[in-house]
Structure 1
Amino acid sequence: MGSGTGPGPVLCVRTVDYHTAGEPFRIVLDGVPPIPGDSVAERRAIAIGAGGSATAPRPSALEEVRRLLVHEPRGHAGMYGGFLVPPDDDEAHLGVLFWHKDGYSTACGHGTIALGAWAVDSGLVPAPADGVARVRIDVSSGRVTALVRRSGGRTTGVTFRNVPSRVSALKLPVETSRGTVEVAVAHSGACYASVPAAALGLAVEPGLLPELVAAGREIRALLAGSEAVAHPTDPRLSGVYGVVLYDELPSEEGVLSQRNVVVFADGQIDRSPCGSGTSARLAVLAAEGRIAPGEELRHESVIGTVFTGRVVGGGDPLGEGVVTEVGGTAYRTGEHLFVLEPGDAPGFTL
């Protein structure tokens, strides 16, 4: 490593990486400084506050680790991951702070699926050779459960049960540069705005990603001051996290099917169908009367990977919210020991 025989690395960070339906998730196992706080939500708030600013430009040790892992040359603009932290109480197996290139998120369905697979595959949570193991995870928006399916001693799929999802607006008019569109807003651990891509003169196709990203960023900015994006009980969960741009697809054997791309944070693209975004779509579809409890949504991503989702409980999606389950697959892609040598920087973005 490096050249010469000088001092050792400034940082050493050990990770195991997964992808869920194509979207990366980097689980940080070692090398993270202690994160103070009495809950996952409190730790996230402290982590955000320690990120550095124009008046305090030097990042904290924690922020330096995040930048090391998400920025080039060790990461990329589409990287996603999580710091393992203690759960809020003994009823959960673990806690996690989700992060991406722009900071920390309050929910991450694809990350929950990956964490469920890792917790069982690593032996952290005992699991049968055939059957289902339950992995309880505390995230910034509450407690979620990963139901890890096993067959022949292998993990074959993971379904996560999300926090309740509620709809705060169904046809909110938003004046965009492509015309006025009606946007649905739902809170499902994070706040999502969804709009048909066709209403913007677009379609969910890889070749149109620059236009889709621009539209998603514009809609997110236009909704910044809307009452619909304010969480009813926890202001830390307020504000649009992602914009779901979707196409209707032909039903397959009577199953409702849609394709989407989720533009989240500052223009990041979800390669998966987005786990918590799928929960948001389920709540909207339930509020519109298009899907009933137990009925399945086939949710396809911009790269063609698929999540399945259903409403499994709760009450009024326009009131207290509905409970959803979203299923997919996660695969381990590698194990890494990242280092930061003296004189090097945590990375860069393009």
Structure 2
Amino acid sequence: MKLQKMYHTTDVHVAGEVFRIIHDVPLVHYRSLQQLEEQLPATFSEEMKLLVKEPRGFAGITGCLVVPPVSEEADVAVIFFDHEGTVPVHNAGVAAITTALLENGRLKEKQSSEYLIETVQGIVFASAVMEKEQVVSVIVETGSFTLVKSDIPFLETMYTLVQGEHLYALFDAKEVGAVLELANLSELKEWGRQAVQKLARERAVERVVLMDWAEASKGRVKSVTFREDGWLVRSPGFGSTAACFTSLVGKGEIRSEQRLVNESIFGSFLEANLLQVDGDNRFSIRARGFMTGAQTFILDPTDPLPDGFLLK
């Protein structure tokens, strides 16, 4: 068999969310990361489909194209993408590439443990703790989150709007009558599908979050997040965790100096602390990434599915 294309990747999951790190950089000239991102649909679209869609990927996977930094102060640069196209920034993805590049030796360990990751929306700060050549935790600093409005009517309940890298609508799981357990996944998905469709039309909401905050006073919540395409986020979600924190602080349910642990329906969790930077709600979120495989993907020229597919 004559291989048409071959790609080397490393897969990492962060609290259950999967990232595929691609090491084969498109051979195109670019002066900035933004310019490279603009060229990807023309120069890397086939690879993007091949590596994140089925049968090699799935709708919940995020691709991370790692390239040398353009900025002199950055340690590495990355462009994120999913099955719909490029993604400006992905904080969980920052944790994923920091973990993978440190553990495979492509990123040199620093005594300060601090790393600057260049994205198309600017540089993201990450701090990694290593023990015995393994990354045991990564702290990533988020952008700004703002409480837009609380107690907005929706059918027989209320929700809160929080603006971050997405527009989040947060619902109290108890008021909705939802129990956030894996056994109830089918019911949760159906509720989420309907809520996303309605809110996307009304307010251009991009993420819908069901949150159980019965133990918020103890610094613990449980949540599940639905994307605008109806798929579940496979982790508590960095942005969702920050949005939950913003909502609870705004309502006086937790103190700003508290640490908040956000747990997913399958037991993974993220830890968040509020940072006050120029009056904005910004957060440091701690997670741990785990490498799940180093893979070589190929494209057989006779493969009838070179563009992949998605089952929803």
Report the CA distance between 1:334 and its aligned residue: 0.7
Q: d(CA) in 2 for partners of 1:142 and 1:285?
A: 28
With over 3 angstroms needed to count, the CA separation of the structure-2 counterparts of 1:271 and 1:81, relative to structure 1, is: same
Tell me the equivalent position of 1:247: 212
Indicate the SS of the match to 1:113.
helix
Q: d(CA) in 2 for partners of 1:35 and 1:325?
A: 35
With over 3 angstroms needed to count, the CA separation of the structure-2 counterparts of 1:107 and 1:126, relative to structure 1, is: same
Which consecutive unaligned segments of at least 5 residues does structure 2 have?
A: none
**Alignment of 1:299 onto 2:295:** no
CA contact (8 A) 2:25 2:65 kept: no
Q: d(CA) in 1 for partners of 2:92 and 2:86?
A: 15
Indicate the SS of the match to 1:120.
helix
Report the CA distance between 1:144 and its aligned residue: 1.7
Q: d(CA) in 1 for partners of 2:246 and 2:121?
A: 17
Q: d(CA) in 2 for partners of 1:249 and 1:278?
A: 15
CA contact (8 A) 1:13 1:32 kept: no
**Alignment of 1:184 onto 2:144:** no
Structure 1 letter corresponding to 2:118: D
Report the CA distance between 1:121 and its aligned residue: 1.9
Structure 2 letter corresponding to 1:349: L
Structure 2 letter corresponding to 1:71: K
With over 3 angstroms needed to count, the CA separation of the structure-2 counterparts of 1:203 and 1:151, relative to structure 1, is: same
**Alignment of 1:103 onto 2:85:** yes
Tell me the equivalent position of 1:25: 19
CA contact (8 A) 2:69 2:118 kept: yes
Identity across matched positions, percent = 26
Indicate the SS of the match to 1:268.
coil
CA contact (8 A) 1:113 1:330 kept: yes
CA contact (8 A) 1:70 1:77 kept: yes
Q: d(CA) in 2 for partners of 1:172 and 1:315?
A: 28
Tell me the equivalent position of 2:59: 77
With over 3 angstroms needed to count, the CA separation of the structure-2 counterparts of 1:287 and 1:85, relative to structure 1, is: farther
CA contact (8 A) 2:211 2:244 kept: no
Deviation string 1:183-217 (CA, Å, 9 cap, x unpaired) is: 22223223322112233222212232233233333
Q: d(CA) in 1 for partners of 2:136 and 2:241?
A: 20
Report the CA distance between 1:38 and its aligned residue: 3.2
Indicate the SS of the match to 1:240.
coil
Tell me the equivalent position of 2:172: 196
CA contact (8 A) 2:200 2:228 kept: no
- Would you say how many aligned residue pairs link Structure 1 and Structure 2? 309
Tell me the equivalent position of 1:56: none
Structure 2 letter corresponding to 1:13: Y
CA contact (8 A) 1:141 1:189 kept: no
TM-score by length of 1: 0.79
CA contact (8 A) 1:312 1:325 kept: yes
Report the CA distance between 1:116 and its aligned residue: 1.6
CA contact (8 A) 1:311 1:322 kept: yes
Tell me the equivalent position of 2:310: 349
CA contact (8 A) 1:159 1:328 kept: yes
Q: d(CA) in 1 for partners of 2:238 and 2:70?
A: 22
Structure 1 letter corresponding to 2:173: A
